[in-house]
């Protein structure tokens, strides 16, 4: 193992198909037209000295170090800004160039501290490297004159010196080390798209400024770390490097936060993680990251992590630490006893969207083959199950149609029910880049998300609809497209069922679906609707990206199908730049669905009642499978309350906090005899558990995650599991304790079993992933290296299916008692239920959940910014602080669900999607009133949680 050093070509790759050939230092080099001389030279293996250039950002030409001589041209042009041309003869090293470079370096060093030995960048400093490369031996200027390096030796004040800014929890900014190369500023602008940095002042005064000469923490900075990665010196430096030192080896792995699935180099010193650096070859992220992936890994070593298995008879008892053998034996005996008494179907399990494909596969295998029933479900139930249903119905596959690179070819984007700058930040950066290049954006969201308008980005239309009216709005967009004749008839005739299209077209053309007719119900100006529809239908490549604001509704599945209809009608499928793209919430929620986590589906979305599929598994597993679909999560809880469901194995999911109607979940769990929680922390669900099996982090195991673009990425172990076992080993040991003969020694063997049983994974194995980096399923003989874009020559199901999408209002209505609509979402620095991010320094940005309320509604209720308010629905009530903002429309309030103290899901109702039971998180009728502090429920909950988390250490038997 060694440290992976990625080649920096100095300028981004040119995309031209035409090539040019030039001579550099006597070597012929052929490169795409538009390539810089610097990059061409690097491709020939000749590194031209440089400071301000990096292949992550466009050429800038400011450092004057990369100068070259070109035969027949005057002067010494900078190689980063000079495009390669046919027949060019370039010299990168001449007497003249040597002299110039030495002089430039001498000036740089004359205003730079010489504390190299004790500098955090020692060993990873491009300035130091360049001083070496140009042979700098002497600096003739002292520090008596103007400099911004240090307070003067004579005690006089140096007004040009600025102290370190340490406000960001993850990196420091030391202005005295800045060489004003602008790489950080350009990274913030071009890669991240936030524009939080600038160079302020001029001359000696010029230096990097976050915002308007602000601290990093108070500025517009979102802490993605692109600037830190870009900095050639120690000016912007990870605090972990300052504390630990430089890493000595690195391993490429995949982030365990959102569904973008960024590739990272985990840079290590021994088994200590020094830093995470996004990997340029990562096809989802292309070398970029967000604050979570790059910095928020501290939970892996947090003191709250539980490392020993624990059991207890009753949830009112304290936990008793026991050995792994005892915990697993106890669990197996309990489960078998429950089955003996209450029947085979009285137990079940939940797979985790945080765990690997292999682990998920094993959990569903344990349930189907070991428990002997199909009571397996996963958290996709509460997020993207409607995506699976809707896209399978219309196209034939339960997944997004594109890769993320596709956005680079998009001309018009409809973004609906998603907030990528917070939920999927790296995708948001890629989208923003495309928008700055001129693509148009239509936002359909009740809330004014950042993408509606932020520096250099402005949506052409913001359809600020009333929560719960998605279907009406999408049908109405279709109405405009069909009645104005903007649909793609050739595409529809060739690819879709023409009769079904005609039925659908007649349905949407009904005047009752016109933007004018629905305006009052949806609250959207008809002109905005018409602009949006026309822009999408006529603007070129149109892509639809959507999130949980689509699926988490009583008509979630209908909305997904309405999106599919829109894409088919406008011919936006089957090529780069278009498509229907669900932004999946969790790192492996796509994988968890693929791996047969649903009660009615075996891996690869094949129905459990399909005997051919069952035969495949029965052959390999050597057991008879139940052909009846099992229970979904809400049904398991209902059955528990009724007394017919008694035991559950929950891997890596906190249903008490994440699932709707908390009180019902608590009642269900409390009614069970054996709740087994397999997790990193004593999460909220564990308050009701009888067995706790410690989990391992993504850094502690091998496996694969499948991201939102169906990309199977490798997860690689970089440290020994603190709890002793990777999660797949724990599941295997539980299976063995229950009498199953499992003998996997490595997750690659599980993947081989997946490939052997699941056609869409047929060609996937770890060797292929090692060679290709990653592949997108389907990956089989038809597509040996995977499938970036689906449905290219026809839909998987044959003809694309248009489905009539009648709008049916949710039963959740506002009324005099509950006049406001609550919708929920997330925030950049926190992730899901916050179990991980709350245990990192990310709390510097978001300490608690807040309720966003419009000034008009706040004033009516006498609520001021920062006040405690009581939030009540028909289901329950909670208290949190108010944030007054016009991001939400009057009549709409918004909150996040990252903190257990808030218990936002006490408020949400048990209404669900008609097809998949996905809960309606996004619409709840509520009332807001003043409050003094936490509600009685919250106080009682905290007391009970504290009580439930007591642990008695393990007592080893006396000799």
Partner 1 sequence: MSTNTEEHSVRVEAICDRMAALEGPLLPILHEVQEEFGHIPEGALQTISKKLNLSRAEVHGVASFYHDFREEKAGKHVIKICRAEACQSMGADDLGDHARHRLKVDWAQTTNDEKVTLEAVFCLGLCACAPAAMVDGKVVGRLNKDRINQILDEVAS
**Is residue 161 a contact residue for partner 1 (CB under 8 A)?**
no
Q: Which residue, 73 or 213, has its beta carbon nearer to partner 1?
A: 213
The neighbouring-strand residues paired with 89 are 23
Q: Which of 236, 219, 239 is nearest to 227 (CA)?
A: 236
Stretch of residues binding partner 1 (CB under 8 A), selected from 21-29, 89-97, 195-203, 465-473: 195-203
Q: How far is the CB of 182 from partner 1 (least distance, A)?
A: 10
Residue 197 sits in the site that holds partner 1 (CB under 8 A): yes
Smallest distance from partner 1 to CB 189, Å: 9
Structure tokens at 274: 């020094």
Q: How far is the CB of 171 from partner 1 (least distance, A)?
A: 17
For partner 1, the closer CB: 184 or 382: 184
What is the C-alpha end-to-end distance of the chain, expressed in Å?
Answer: 44
What minimum distance in Å lies between the beta carbon of 866 and partner 1?
Answer: 17
- Is 458 an interacting residue with respect to partner 1 (CB under 8 A)? yes
Count of positions (residues) in the chain: 959
**In terms of CB distance, is 3 or 199 closer to partner 1?**
199
The CA distance from 388 to 667, in Å, is 29
Identify which of residues 101 and 148 has a Cβ nearer to partner 1 in the complex: 148
Q: How far is the CB of 855 from partner 1 (least distance, A)?
A: 15
Contacts of 243 (CB under 8 A, 6+ apart): none
Q: How many CA atoms lie within 13 A of 263 on its CB side?
A: 20
Q: What is each CA distance from 141 to 100, 111, 144, 393, in whole angstroms?
A: 17, 9, 8, 73
C-alpha dihedral (780, 784, 790, 793), degrees to nearest 10: -100
Give me the residues paired with residue 873 across strands: 926
Instruction: Specify the stretch interacting with partner 1 by CB under 8 A; choose among 191-199, 559-567, 846-854, 890-898.
Output: 191-199
The correct pick among 5, 18, 202, 303 for binding partner 1 (CB under 8 A) is 202
Q: Which stretch binds partner 1 (CB under 8 A): 207-215, 269-277, 463-471, 698-706?
A: 207-215
Which range, of 189-197, 632-640, 710-718, 719-727, touches partner 1 by CB under 8 A? 189-197
Q: Is 523 in the site for partner 1 (CB under 8 A)?
A: no
CA distance 149 to 155: 14
Considering only residues 131, 149, 196, 790, which one is a binding residue for partner 1 as defined by CB under 8 A? Answer: 196
Could you give the angle at which helices 611-621 and 747-757 cross, rounded to 10 degrees?
150
Distance from C-alpha of 726 to C-alpha of 324, rounded to nearest angstrom: 13
Decide: is 159 part of the binding site for partner 1 (CB under 8 A): no
Q: Which of 89, 162, 199, 809 binds partner 1 (CB under 8 A)?
A: 199
Residue 200 vs 525, nearer CB to partner 1: 200
Kindly tell me the sign of the dihedral angle through the C-alpha atoms of 808, 811, 815, 819.
Answer: negative
Compute how many residues bind partner 1; rule: CB under 8 A: 22
Rounded Cα distance between 216 and 214, Å, is 6
Q: Out of 132, 135, 159, 201, which residue is the one contacting partner 1 (CB under 8 A)? A: 201
Instruction: Supply angle C-alpha 65, 69, 74, rounded to 5.
Output: 110
Please identify, using beta-carbon distances, which residue of 230 and 346 lies nearer to partner 1: 230
Residue 421 interacts with partner 1 (CB under 8 A): yes or no: no
Which of 456, 624, 817, 950 contacts partner 1 by CB under 8 A?
456
Interface with partner 1, residue 212, by CB under 8 A? yes
Angle at alpha carbon of residue 721, lines to 305 and 724, rounded to 5°: 90
Tell me how far, at minimum, the Cβ of 237 lies from partner 1, in Å: 20
Is residue 481 close enough to count as binding partner 1 by CB under 8 A? no
749 is a site residue for partner 1 (CB under 8 A): no
Q: How far is the CB of 202 from partner 1 (least distance, A)?
A: 5
User: Six-digit token pair at 423?
Assistant: 């939920």
The one among 25, 200, 215, 500 contacting partner 1 by CB under 8 A: 200
115 binds partner 1 (CB under 8 A): no
Among 150, 164, 213, 302, binds partner 1 (CB under 8 A): 213
428-434 contacts at long range (C-beta below 8 A, 24 or more positions apart): 428/193, 429/191, 429/192, 429/193, 429/224, 429/288, 430/286, 430/288, 430/404, 431/407, 431/545, 432/193, 432/456, 432/457, 433/190, 433/191, 433/193, 434/407, 434/408, 434/410
The SS3 of residue 468 is coil
Does the protein bind partner 1 through residue 198 (CB under 8 A)? yes
With CB under 8 A as the contact rule, the residue among 245, 298, 455, 890 that binds partner 1 is: 455
Least distance CB 867 / partner 1 (angstroms) = 20
| Contact region with partner 1 (CB under 8 A), list: 188-196, 661-669, 670-678, 941-949 | 188-196
CB of 795 to partner 1, least distance (A): 40
DSSP type of residue 933:
S
- Applying CB under 8 A, which of residues 83, 210, 585, 919 lies at the interface with partner 1? 210
Query: Given the complex with partner 1, which of 45 and 201 has the nearer CB atom?
Result: 201
Least separation in angstroms between CB 195 and partner 1: 4
The CA-based angle 320-338-737, given to 5 degrees, is 60
Give 140-148 contacts, CB < 8 A, sequence gap 24+: 140/106, 140/110, 141/106, 141/107, 141/110, 146/204, 147/110, 147/111, 147/204, 148/111, 148/175, 148/176, 148/178, 148/204, 148/205, 148/207
- Give residues 637-676 in contact with partner 1 (rule: CB under 8 A): none
Q: Is 349 in the site for partner 1 (CB under 8 A)?
A: no
Sign, CA dihedral 279-284-285-287, equals: positive
Please choose, out of 307-315, 429-437, 449-457, 712-720, the segment that lies near partner 1 by the rule CB under 8 A. 449-457
Complex with partner 1: residue 205 or 946, whichever CB lies closer: 205
Q: What angle do CA 250, 253, 259 make, to 5 degrees?
A: 150
Smallest distance from partner 1 to CB 185, Å: 8
- CB closer to partner 1 out of 241 and 439: 439
Residue 454, interface with partner 1 (CB under 8 A)? Answer: yes
| CA 275 – CA 243 distance, rounded (Å) | 11
Q: Is 218 in the site for partner 1 (CB under 8 A)?
A: no
Q: Using CB under 8 A as the criterion, which residues of the chain lie in contact with partner 1 when the complex forms? A: 194-202, 209-213, 219-220, 453-458
């Amino acid at each position: 193992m060694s440290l992976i050093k990625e080649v920096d070509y100095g300028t981004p790759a040119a995309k031209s198909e035409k090539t040019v050939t030039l001579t550099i230092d006597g070597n012929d080099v052929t490169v795409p037209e538009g390539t810089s001389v610097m990059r061409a030279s690097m491709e020939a293996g000749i590194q031209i000295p440089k400071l301000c250039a990096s292949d992550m950002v466009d050429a800038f030409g400011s450092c004057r170090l990369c100068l070259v001589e070109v035969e027949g041209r005057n002067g010494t042009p900078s190689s980063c800004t000079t495009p390669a041309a046919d027949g060019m003869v370039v010299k990168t090293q001449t007497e003249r160039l040597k002299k110039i470079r030495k002089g430039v370096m001498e000036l740089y060093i004359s205003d730079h501290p010489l504390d190299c030995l004790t500098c955090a960048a020692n060993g990873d400093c491009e300035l130091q490297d360049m001083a070496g490369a140009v042979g700098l031996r002497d600096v003739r200027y002292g520090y008596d004159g103007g400099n911004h390096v240090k307070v003067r030796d004579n005690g006089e004040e140096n007004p040009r010196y600025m102290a370190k800014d340490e406000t960001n929890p993850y990196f420091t900014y030391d202005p005295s080390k800045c060489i004003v190369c602008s790489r950080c500023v350009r990274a913030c602008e071009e890669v991240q798209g936030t524009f939080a940095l600038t160079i302020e002042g001029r001359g000696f005064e010029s230096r990097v400024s976050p915002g308007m000469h602000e601290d990093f923490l108070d500025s517009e900075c979102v802490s993605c770390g692109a600037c830190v990665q870009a900095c050639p010196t120690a000016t912007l430096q990870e605090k972990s490097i300052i504390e630990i030192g430089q890493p000595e080896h690195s391993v490429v792995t995949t982030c365990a936060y959102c569904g973008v699935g960024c590739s990272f180099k985990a840079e290590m010193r021994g088994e200590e993680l020094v830093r995470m650096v996004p990997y340029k070859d990562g096809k989802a992220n292309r070398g970029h990251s967000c604050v979570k992936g790059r910095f928020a890994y501290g939970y892996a070593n947090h003191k709250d992590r539980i490392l020993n298995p624990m059991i207890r008879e009753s949830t009112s008892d304290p936990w008793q630490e026991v050995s792994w053998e005892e915990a697993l034996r106890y669990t197996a005996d309990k489960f078998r006893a429950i089955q003996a008494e209450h029947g085979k179907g009285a137990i079940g399990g939940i797979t985790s969207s945080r765990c690997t494909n292999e682990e998920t596969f094993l959990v569903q295998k344990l349930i189907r083959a070991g428990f002997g029933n199909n009571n397996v479900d996963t958290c996709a139930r509460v997020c993207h199950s409607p995506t699976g249903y809707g896209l399978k119905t219309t196209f034939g596959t339960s997944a997004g149609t594109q890769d993320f690179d596709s956005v680079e070819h998009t001309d018009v984007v409809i973004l609906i029910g998603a907030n990528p700058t917070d939920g999927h930040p790296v995708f948001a950066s890629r989208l923003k880049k495309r928008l700055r290049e001129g693509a148009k954006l239509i936002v359909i969201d009740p809330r004014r998300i950042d993408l509606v308008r932020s520096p250099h980005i402005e949506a052409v239309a913001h359809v600020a609809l009333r929560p719960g009216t998605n279907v009406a709005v999408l049908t109405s967009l279709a109405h405009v497209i069909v009645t104005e004749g903007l649909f793609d008839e050739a595409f529809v005739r060739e690819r879709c069922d023409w009769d079904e299209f005609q039925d659908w077209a007649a349905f949407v053309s009904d005047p009752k679906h016109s933007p004018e007719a629905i305006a009052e119900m949806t609250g959207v100006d008809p002109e905005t609707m018409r602009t949006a529809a026309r822009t999408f239908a006529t603007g070129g490549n149109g892509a639809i990206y959507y999130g949980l604001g689509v699926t988490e509704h009583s008509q979630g599945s209908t909305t997904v199908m309405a999106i599919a209809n829109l894409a088919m009608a406008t011919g936006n499928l089957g090529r780069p730049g278009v498509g229907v793209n669900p932004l999946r919430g969790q790192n492996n929620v796509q994988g968890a669905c693929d791996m047969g986590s649903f009660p009615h589906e075996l891996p690869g979305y094949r129905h459990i009642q399909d005997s051919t599929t069952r035969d495949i598994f029965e052959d390999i597993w050597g057991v008879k499978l139940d052909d009846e679909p099992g229970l979904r999560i809400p049904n398991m809880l209902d059955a528990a309350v009724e007394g017919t469901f008694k035991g559950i194995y929950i891997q890596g999911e906190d249903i008490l906090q994440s699932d709707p109607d908390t009180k019902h979940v608590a009642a269900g769990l409390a009614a069970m005899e054996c709740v087994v929680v397999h997790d990193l922390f004593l999460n909220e669900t564990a308050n009701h558990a009888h067995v706790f099996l410690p989990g391992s982090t993504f850094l502690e195991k091998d496996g694969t995650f499948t991201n939102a673009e169906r990309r199977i990425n490798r997860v690689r172990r970089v440290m020994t599991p603190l709890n002793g076992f990777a999660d797949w080993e724990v599941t295997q040991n539980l299976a063995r304790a229950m009498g199953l003969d499992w003998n996997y020694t490595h997750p690659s063997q599980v993947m081989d079993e997946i490939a052997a049983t699941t056609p869409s994974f047929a060609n996937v194995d770890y060797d292929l992933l090692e060679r290709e980096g990653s592949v997108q399923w389907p990956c089989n003989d038809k597509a040996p290296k995977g499938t970036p874009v689906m449905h290219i020559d026809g839909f998987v199901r044959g003809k694309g299916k248009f489905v009539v999408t009648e709008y049916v209002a949710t039963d959740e209505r506002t009324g005099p008692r509950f006049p406001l609509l609550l919708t929920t979402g997330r925030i950049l620095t926190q992730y899901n239920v916050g179990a991980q991010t709350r245990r990192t320094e990310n709390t510097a940005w978001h300490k608690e959940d807040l309720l966003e309320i419009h000034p008009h509604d706040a004033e009516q209720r006498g609520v001021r910014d920062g006040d405690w308010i009581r939030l009540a629905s028909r289901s329950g009530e909670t208290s949190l602080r108010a944030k007054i903002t016009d991001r939400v429309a009057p009549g709409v309030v918004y909150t996040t669900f990252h903190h257990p103290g808030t218990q936002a899901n006490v408020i949400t109702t048990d209404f669900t999607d008609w097809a998949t039971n996905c809960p309606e998180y996004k619409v709840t009728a509520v009332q807001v009133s003043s409050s003094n502090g936490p509600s009685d429920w919250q106080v009682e909950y905290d007391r009970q949680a504290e009580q439930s988390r007591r642990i008695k250490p393990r007592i080893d038997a006396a000799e």
